[in-house]
Every structure is written in structure tokens, then in C-alpha cells.
Structure 1
Amino acid sequence: MYILKVSINYFFRVIEYLVIARILLSWISNNPYGGVHRFLHQVTEPILAPFRELSYRIGIGGGMIDLSPIFAIFFLQLVNGLINSIL
């Protein structure tokens, strides 16, 4: 059971780091079609898209700032905690 909990924690942590890497890369990269940028987009977009849609529907951020990574990381931590409490 311990190995399962640790594996789940690592999985969620890696996803969170990938979301953070995408944020940082969007600030510093001039080439959105590069290999790393495409990889991060492909991996994190399925996670970020629902939160981006939700934030636009609610009207949070006003379209100027994408707050979906913050919501996604919060949600990932919440789900990780719930899974670990169940196990």
C-alpha cells in the first residue's frame, strides 16, 4: 500500500511540475513550436482546458490572465489528498 501511495504522489507531483514548466516556458520561450513546448502543451492541455473554460464562463481573470494553471494545481493537490486519505 505504501508503494501505491508514493507512486500516486509522484504522479501528481510530476503533473504539477509539468504545469509549472509550461507556465515558465510561456514566459521565456519565443518558439511555441519547439519540441519541449509542444510536449508540455500536449501533456498539460487536457488538464488545463477544463479549468480555462470554467474560468472564462465564470468571468475570472477577465481574459487578460490565464488562471487555469492555478486552479489545476489546486485541484490536483485536492485529488491527491483525497486519494491518499482513501488509501
Structure 2
Amino acid sequence: MNTIIIYIVASLLRILQFLFFARAIMSWFAQGGSSQIYEFLCLVTEPLIQPFRSLLSRIDALRGSPFDLAFLLAFFVLIALEQVLYML
């Protein structure tokens, strides 16, 4: 029973990682930003990124960064959570 729950949660984390990756790739293209798929990706991933954005906005040195560090941090946290699950 415990392994089934771990497998389901790990699968959900893997799906979220894929959605993050797809959002990152689509953001590189001009027409990607206005498509319904991109809007869906933002709708799903933004609630996970927003806490990291508010946390990083408190650091003055990171406010003017050209990179979306909150996105990267959220993505790496998903990867770390998946690794922790596999260690259980």
C-alpha cells in the first residue's frame, strides 16, 4: 500500500516537472505566449511558483535578475521531492 502511494505521488511530481519543462520551452517562442496551451501551463504551474516568487522578491539583489529564479527554484524543489520519495 505504501509503495502505491509513493508511486502515485512520484508520478504526479514527474507530470509537474514535464509541465514546467513545457512551459519553459514555450516561453522561448513569441507565439507560445498567447496560446491556450501556454495559458493552461501557466494556470497549473503558477500556484507552485508564486510562493518562491514572493520569497525571492524579499532579496534586493535578486529583484532585477533577468532570469526567473523562482521558476528554477520551484523546478529543482520538484526534482528534490521526487528523489526523496524514491529514497523512502
TM value normalised by structure 2: 0.78
**Partner in structure 1 of residue 35 of structure 2:** 34
**Partner in structure 1 of residue 20 of structure 2:** 19
**Partner in structure 2 of residue 67 of structure 1:** 69
Between the aligned partners of 2:55 and 2:72, the Cα distance in structure 1 is: 13
Shift in Å at residue 79 of structure 1? 3.1
Between the aligned partners of 2:29 and 2:63, the Cα distance in structure 1 is: 21
Q: Quick check: 1:48–1:69 contact (8 Å CA) kept in 2? A: yes
Between the aligned partners of 1:31 and 1:15, the Cα distance in structure 2 is: 19
Q: Which runs of 5+ in 2 are unaligned?
A: none
Shift in Å at residue 42 of structure 1? 0.2
**Partner in structure 2 of residue 43 of structure 1:** 44
Moved over 6 A (4+): none
TM value normalised by structure 1: 0.79
Q: Which runs of 5+ in 1 are unaligned?
A: none
- The count of corresponding residues between Structure 1 and Structure 2 is 86
State the Cα RMSD in Å. Answer: 2.0
Shift in Å at residue 20 of structure 1? 1.2
Q: Quick check: 1:61–1:67 contact (8 Å CA) kept in 2? A: no
